[in-house]
Chain A
Amino acid sequence: MFRYLPFVLKNSWRNRRRTTLTIVSISVSLCLLGVLMAIYYAFYFTDATPSQALRLVVRNKISLAVPMPEYYRDKIRQIPGVRDVAVSQWFGGVYKDRRDPKNFFARFAVEPERIIAVRGEMKMPEDQKQAFIHERTACMVGKALAEKQNFHLGDRITLQGDIFAVNLELTVRAIYDAPENNEVLYFNLEYLDQAMGSKRWGQIGTFYVLADSPDSVPRIAKAIDDSYRNSPVQTKTESERQFQLGFLSFLGNVKMILLSICAAVTFTIMLVSANTIAMSVRERVREVGVLKTLGFTRGTILSLILGEAVAIATIGGAVGVLLASGLCGFVRNGPAFSDDIRHLSIQPPVALACLAVAAVIGLISAFIPAWNASRTSIVEALRSTE
């Protein structure tokens, strides 16, 4: 079949404008498909980092929005295999102007020493660490967040409460660097408690649990949930990775949304491609007759036309993958609701999947025109004047 490759490529390039437009339309669609597949891959196929693999997140079984008693921490700490526990309370609130999405970032009230212990991958100078631990109104921000918001050590940050009816005046005392969750602001839970007085009633949103090994994680999760199975407030414990995906479900059935858009994009481009290929084949029916006269079989003619369509679609797919790679850069730097988006890129399996989809689009869209052309009788084909 390789001996026909030059012929196939020359035929593909026969009508340059049409071929270019077809490649462009396929590449734009494949670019969108590539980014969607990259997001899907990042969410559902990326393994937990080594530090994530050691962490579990405990929340109220009913919902993440419903708090649970803070004293659960003491019992969780006693479960074999648990190395440390850190409480974490989503603060929400407003920074500067709610209408500007750039001002949205995660803000958590935490126990400084504990969160630094549980999130051991966070790196910062020792003096900054100590300042964050010992100063009640201190806050610690991720390096990426600091760069984005232009935060510097000593800056004052005012957060207007919405879930909690208090305004907090924080001072940046530490800037940490970490491979993930690098756009988070942590501040002292004690400050929130004092600002709220007795209104918080010892309730907390989540516990971050550090296990002694990844193998202990499933057992610890079961042990925690079993401990509170008969309590009025039951818990749901999952790995940090699962928890992040669960957080994503607040947006709806993300998996279904992504797959539906992917299917719609693929189907649409298939129709466009089919129309173009059909046009191209119709113009060359006479040539099909000539090829048959020379001794080409139906099967060879079918293969030639399919090969041509697959070549065009695959080139479009390759361009689309390159475009998608560039677009991922924009998405990475834009406002993100998930840390996975921060590391969005076209991974080799996604690139291969895109190329395979492109090839299949070419194959399917050309099949009917190619089949009909290969079945046309020589006399009928030679009579064609198109």
Chain B
Amino acid sequence: MTDNVVIQTSSLTKEFLRDEFHVVALKGVDIEIHKGEFVALMGPSGSGKSTLLHLIAAMDVATGGNIRVLGQDLRALNDRQIARWRNENIGFVFQSFNLIPVLTALENVELPLKLTNLKKQERLDHANTALKLVGLGDRTGHFPRQLSGGQEQRVAIARAIVTDPALILADEPTGNLDAGSAQDILSLLSQLNKEHGKTIVMVTHDPHAARFASKVRYLEKGELLAEGAVPAD
């Protein structure tokens, strides 16, 4: 593996039991994502896109195969180490924003920094910078309920980038947004990729969103299609 590879999986498999049914969510996935790439993972519902994203973020554990992210074998880490690793290296953007409703935009963005050794003022400075970067420097004291969907997602992106992670993972980041807000969010992610060199993996259903990515990979029934291949239907 070269230094340039951020994510590398081989024969990655995820199986689980749902009720009495045996489900194979991922079947022998081999993928390599390089530093600075913006990869869109596409495929129909149940194809395993989100499962792959969760495995990359060490939010779930594979049942087979290997996975290295940012040079780290995730299977070698215990829970505490994984939590720390995730805090330092991964920024995650959810479809439904998942901001903490009792915290202001600034406090939401500051939250991941509470796990660092930064002093309060430093944390606030970083959070303010992140909010300015996403264009919400004037909304720092607003609670999530006082923001539009697009603004909430921007706050979520600010929270994802505030620790300056090398890798940003986005799970349907425009799924809950109108076309205009979606466009803004995708532009923002693209800006983070191009201007700040962040590696981004984004799960999406939307072909328009996928056009912002530098590379598109398709999954079908848990299998990753060859590079350049698209599902038959």
* Chain A residues packing against B (C-beta within 8 Å): 3-4, 6-7, 10-11, 13-14, 286-287, 290-300, 377-379, 382
Which of B112-120, B188-196, B220-228 participates in binding chain A? B112-120
Partner of A294, one of B101, B107, B115, B120: B115
B59 adjacent to A14 (CB under 8 Å): no
Contacts of B93-125 to chain A: CB distance below 8 A: 94, 98, 100-103, 107, 111-112, 114-115, 120
User: Is the CB of B79 closer than 8 A to any CB of chain A?
Assistant: yes
Partner of B86, one of A286, A295, A300: A295
Point out the residues of chain A lying under 8 angstroms from B101, CB to CB: 14
Contacts of B148-164 to chain A: CB distance below 8 A: 159
Nearest residue, chain B, Cβ from A284: B100
B83 adjacent to A295 (CB under 8 Å): yes
Nearest residue, chain A, Cβ from B100: A287
A377 adjacent to B159 (CB under 8 Å): no
Known: A292-B83, A295-B86, A297-B79. A379 touches B112 (CB 8 A): no
Q: How far is the CB of A159 from chain B (nearest CB, A)?
A: 67
A3 adjacent to B120 (CB under 8 Å): yes
B87 adjacent to A286 (CB under 8 Å): no
**Bound Cα distance from A378 to B58, whole angstroms:** 9
Nearest residue, chain A, Cβ from B119: A3
Interface size (B, Cβ < 8 Å)? 25
CB-based closest 3 A-B pairs? A295-B87, A378-B59, A10-B102
26 residue pairs A–B, Cβ–Cβ below 8 Å: A6-B107, A7-B103, A7-B111, A10-B102, A10-B103, A11-B102, A14-B101, A14-B102, A290-B98, A291-B111, A292-B83, A293-B59, A294-B86, A294-B92, A294-B111, A295-B83, A295-B87, A295-B112, A295-B115, A296-B83, A297-B84, A298-B79, A299-B80, A300-B115, A378-B54, A378-B59
**Bound Cα distance from A290 to B100, whole angstroms:** 9
Query: A interface, by DSSP: helix, strand, loop or mixed?
Result: helix
Query: B interface, by DSSP: helix, strand, loop or mixed?
Result: helix
Known: A379-B54, A379-B60. A294 touches B79 (CB 8 A): no
B115 adjacent to A293 (CB under 8 Å): no
**Bound Cα distance from A292 to B59, whole angstroms:** 8
Point out the residues of chain A lying under 8 angstroms from B60, CB to CB: 377-379
User: Is the CB of B88 closer than 8 A to any CB of chain A?
Assistant: yes
**Bound Cα distance from A290 to B103, whole angstroms:** 14
**Bound Cα distance from A4 to B103, whole angstroms:** 12
10 further A-B pairs in the complex, CB-CB below 8 A; given A13-B102, A295-B83, A382-B98: A4-B114, A10-B103, A290-B100, A293-B59, A296-B115, A297-B84, A299-B80, A377-B60, A378-B54, A378-B60
Nearest residue, chain A, Cβ from B16: A379
Nearest residue, chain B, Cβ from A290: B98
**Bound Cα distance from A10 to B115, whole angstroms:** 18
Point out the residues of chain A lying under 8 angstroms from B201, CB to CB: none
Point out the residues of chain A lying under 8 angstroms from B92, CB to CB: 293-294
Point out the residues of chain A lying under 8 angstroms from B114, CB to CB: 3-4, 7
Point out the residues of chain A lying under 8 angstroms from B87, CB to CB: 294-295
User: Is the CB of B6 closer than 8 A to any CB of chain A?
Assistant: no
Point out the residues of chain B lying under 8 angstroms from A300, CB to CB: 115
**Bound Cα distance from A298 to B114, whole angstroms:** 15
User: Is the CB of B57 closer than 8 A to any CB of chain A?
Assistant: yes
Point out the residues of chain B lying under 8 angstroms from A378, CB to CB: 54, 59-60
A290 adjacent to B94 (CB under 8 Å): yes
Point out the residues of chain B lying under 8 angstroms from A14, CB to CB: 101-102
Point out the residues of chain B lying under 8 angstroms from A295, CB to CB: 83-84, 86-88, 112, 115
Partner of B98, one of A3, A286, A377: A286
Nearest residue, chain B, Cβ from A377: B60
Point out the residues of chain B lying under 8 angstroms from A379, CB to CB: 54, 59-60
Point out the residues of chain A lying under 8 angstroms from B98, CB to CB: 286-287, 290, 382
**Bound Cα distance from A293 to B156, whole angstroms:** 12
**Bound Cα distance from A106 to B107, whole angstroms:** 66
**Bound Cα distance from A13 to B84, whole angstroms:** 29
**Bound Cα distance from A240 to B142, whole angstroms:** 67
The interface centre, meaning the residue of B80, B87, B100 with most chain A CB atoms within 10 A of its CB, is: B100
The interface centre, meaning the residue of B59, B84, B159 with most chain A CB atoms within 10 A of its CB, is: B59
**Bound Cα distance from A6 to B106, whole angstroms:** 13
Nearest residue, chain A, Cβ from B61: A377
A294 adjacent to B159 (CB under 8 Å): yes
Nearest residue, chain A, Cβ from B85: A295
Nearest residue, chain A, Cβ from B169: A293
Nearest residue, chain A, Cβ from B114: A3
Point out the residues of chain A lying under 8 angstroms from B59, CB to CB: 292-293, 377-379, 382
Point out the residues of chain B lying under 8 angstroms from A377, CB to CB: 59-60
**Bound Cα distance from A13 to B102, whole angstroms:** 9
The interface centre, meaning the residue of B54, B83, B107, B115 with most chain A CB atoms within 10 A of its CB, is: B83
Point out the residues of chain A lying under 8 angstroms from B100, CB to CB: 287, 290
**Bound Cα distance from A155 to B83, whole angstroms:** 83
Q: How far is the CB of B88 from chain A (nearest CB, A)?
A: 7
Q: How far is the CB of B177 from chain A (nearest CB, A)?
A: 19
Point out the residues of chain B lying under 8 angstroms from A11, CB to CB: 102
Known: A3-B114, A290-B100, A378-B60. A297 touches B86 (CB 8 A): no
Point out the residues of chain A lying under 8 angstroms from B80, CB to CB: 297, 299
Q: How far is the CB of B120 from chain A (nearest CB, A)?
A: 7
The interface centre, meaning the residue of B87, B94, B98 with most chain A CB atoms within 10 A of its CB, is: B98
Nearest residue, chain B, Cβ from A301: B83
Point out the residues of chain A lying under 8 angstroms from B112, CB to CB: 294-295
Nearest residue, chain B, Cβ from A297: B83
**Bound Cα distance from A367 to B100, whole angstroms:** 22
Nearest residue, chain B, Cβ from A6: B107
Point out the residues of chain B lying under 8 angstroms from A3, CB to CB: 114, 120
